[in-house]
Chain A
C-alpha cells in the first residue's frame, strides 16, 4: 500500500466507529448511564437534606468535591494545551491524536464546574456570582477564567472538526441535520481552507495563555489565603505542571482505548506513545522538582503551624495518601518511562493510570490536611468521605466516559482531513522546512 497517497481506506477505517456500533458499546453505555443516574439521585438527596450527608465538618469544610474540581480542571489541560503546542511546533506526529485530546478538555471542564456546584451549600444561588460578583475573590477569577477557557477550547475543538463534519454530511448517515448545521457550508475551497488554517493557528496561540491562566487561578483559590501550606508562591506553576501532567496521562489512556477498541493501530502508533511518553517523563521530573521544592522550603523554614500540616502528610494521618501519591506520580512513571523498552503503549498506560491516581491524591493531600490542622487549639479535624461523595465522584467519571464515547460515535475521533493532509503534503513540506535550516 502506498503510504504517501491518501486512500479510500483511511476514510473507511476512521469512519467505521461512527457507522458501525457493536453490542458491547451499548452494554457499557447502559452501565455508565446507570452509574451517572444513580449519582444524580444521590445529588438530589444531598440537595434536599443538606451538605450534612457528606463527611465534611468543622474544620474540614472542603473535601473530595473540591479535590475533584481541581483534578478535573487539571485533566482539561491535556487536550487543548498539548494539541495547541504540538500544532504550533508543527510536530507532524500530532495529526492522529489532537482531536482525542481536545475532546477531553471540553468535556471534562463541565465536570470541574459541576463539582463546584455540588459543593455549594446553596446551589440554587450559584448565579449570584454573576449578579453580585466580587472580583477580588479568587473564586470569581476562576469563574471568569474557566468560562473563557470553555469558550476558547470549544471553538478550538470545533474548528478542525468542520472539514470532517462536511465529509459526514455527504454520507447517508443519521444526524445529517446536525452535520449540515455544524459544517457551516464547508465545501473545501482554497479560500475556506486558508481561512480555517488561519483561524486554527490563531486559536492555538490564544488557548495557551488561557489554559495556563485557568490552573493558575485554581491554585490561587488556595494560595491567596494565609493558611499553612496553602499560602505558597509556587502554587501557580506547580498546579499548571500537575495539570498538564495529569492531562497527558488521561490522554494516553484515552488513546490506548481508542486504538484498541476501534482498531486504529495504523493511526495511533507505538511512536505516538513513545513520543508522548518522553514528554510525560519530562513532566514526571518537573512534578518531582516542584513537589520537592515546596516541601523542602516548608521543612527548612519549620514554622510550627506549617510543620503540623507537613508532618500530618509525611508521617501522620495522611501519610498513606501522601506516599501512594509519591509512588504513583513519581516512582512508577519514572521507572516505566525512563527505559525505551518499557516506553511502549502498554507501559505508557500503566504509567498514566498511576499518574491519574497519584494526581488525584495530590489534589486531596493539598486540600484536606491544611484544613484538618487549624492554627488555634481546636480539636483536630477528621474527614472520611461518605458514600454520597463517592457516588457523585463515580457518577462524574462515568458520565465523562459516556460523553466521550458518544462523541466518538458522532464525530471522527481521529481527524480525517488532517491525516489526509499529512499523507499528501507533510513529507515534502517538512523536507522543505528542513532545507531552510541547513547552512547555506
Chain B
C-alpha cells in the first residue's frame, strides 16, 4: 500500500505562487476577491506562508508553500463528531462534504490551520464556471474543505493502472501544484517506495517537517540547506 507524500524543496522554490494558482484551477476553488480576502474568508488549499526574520530594514522574508500536511496522526480527524473528515484507505485525510455539519472543530484542531470553511456559497465568475473541473465537487456553503493531495487524480491513475494490468508506477500520480511548479521544487509519490524520488528526498539530511514536536507526523516534508535547516522562527 502506497504512502503518499510530498517534498517541497525550499532551496528551489522561488515563491512564484504558481502552485497556488494551479491548485485553485484544479480544485474548483473560487477566487475570493478583495472584499472576502479582507474579511479573512479566502480559501487556499495551497497557501504561501511568509516568515519574516530580522528587524526593519534588515528584513529577510522566507516563503513556504503550504498544502495540507496529510498527517499520519491527524489531530483534525479525531475530533470530527460525524466522521466527515477521516483518514481514508489511501492514508489521505479526506473530507465528506455531504456529511459535514460545519462545526469547525477540525479546523480549530489543526495546528497548521490548513482547513478552510465556506462562509458563503461559492461564487464563481461566469468565465470560471465554464472551466470547472468535473472531477472535483464544488463545495456548498457551511462545510469545511482543504487540500486533498488531488485525490481525484488517484482514482484515474488507479483505473488506468488496473486496465494496463500493472501496479501504479512512480510518477503516475501527480498533484496539480507539482505539475505546474516551474522550478520543479515539488516532488510527490510513495514515501514507502525506496526508489521513488519523494522517498529519497524525504530521507535527505535537508528534510524536515513543521511543528515536529506535536507528533502529528506530517507527510509533507520541506528541504533546505545550511544554517536555516529545520529552524523557522515560528
List residues of A whose CB falls within 8 A of some B CB. 49-52, 56-62, 116, 119-123, 125-126, 128-129, 131-134, 136-140, 143, 221, 224-227, 371, 374-379, 381-382
Contacts and interface: CB of A to CB of B under 8 A. Distances in A.
17 contacts: A50-B119, A52-B120, A57-B41, A58-B113, A59-B40, A121-B103, A121-B104, A121-B141, A122-B143, A123-B101, A129-B82, A133-B81, A133-B82, A137-B78, A137-B80, A137-B82, A139-B79
Contacts of A378: 49, 113
Contacts of B40: 57-60, 379, 381-382
Contact of B119 (A51, A129, A134): A51
A121 B101 CA distance: 6
A381 B113 CA distance: 12
Nearest to A134: B83
A52 B119 contact: yes
A123 B100 CA distance: 10
Given A57-B41, A62-B108, A226-B111, A376 B210 contact: yes
A139 B108 contact: no
Given A52-B120, A57-B41, A225-B108, 20 more contacts: A50-B121, A50-B141, A52-B119, A58-B117, A59-B113, A62-B108, A116-B103, A121-B103, A122-B101, A122-B102, A125-B100, A129-B101, A131-B82, A137-B80, A143-B81, A226-B75, A375-B211, A377-B49, A377-B50, A377-B51
B39 A139 contact: no
Contacts of A123: 101
Closest 10 CB pairs of A and B: A121-B102, A121-B142, A57-B40, A52-B119, A139-B81, A137-B81, A61-B104, A50-B120, A122-B142, A132-B82
Contacts, number: 138
Contacts of B80: 134, 137
A90 to B, nearest CB: 41
A138 B103 contact: no
A59 B102 CA distance: 15
Given A52-B119, A121-B118, A225-B79, A139 B105 contact: yes
Given A61-B104, A61-B107, A139-B103, A51 B117 contact: yes
A50 B142 contact: yes
B41 A221 contact: no
Interface in B90-133: 99-105, 107-109, 111-113, 116-121
A122 to B, nearest CB: 4
B34 to A, nearest CB: 14
A379 to B, nearest CB: 8
Contacts of B214: 226
B3 to A, nearest CB: 23
A376 B49 contact: yes
Contacts of B101: 120-123, 125-126, 128-129
A304 to B, nearest CB: 8
Contacts of B116: 58
Contacts of B42: 58
B107 to A, nearest CB: 5
Contact residue range for chain B? 35 or more
B234 A50 contact: no
A25 B47 CA distance: 57
Interface in B17-55: 39-42, 49-52
B75 A121 contact: no
A227 B117 contact: no
Nearest to A137: B81
Contacts of A377: 49-52, 232, 234
B142 A134 contact: no
B113 A374 contact: yes
Nearest to B100: A122
B102 A120 contact: yes
A59 B116 CA distance: 9
Nearest to A126: B101
Contacts of A224: 78-79
A129 B210 CA distance: 33
A224 B107 CA distance: 14
A252 B185 CA distance: 65
Contact of B108 (A49, A134, A227, A376): A227
A418 to B, nearest CB: 41
A61 B50 CA distance: 21
A424 to B, nearest CB: 51
A225 B81 contact: no
B118 A50 contact: yes
Nearest to A224: B79
B147 to A, nearest CB: 15
A240 B81 CA distance: 23
B78 A136 contact: yes
Contacts of A116: 103
Nearest to B83: A134
B120 A137 contact: no
Nearest to A375: B111
Contacts of B104: 61-62, 119, 121
B65 to A, nearest CB: 13
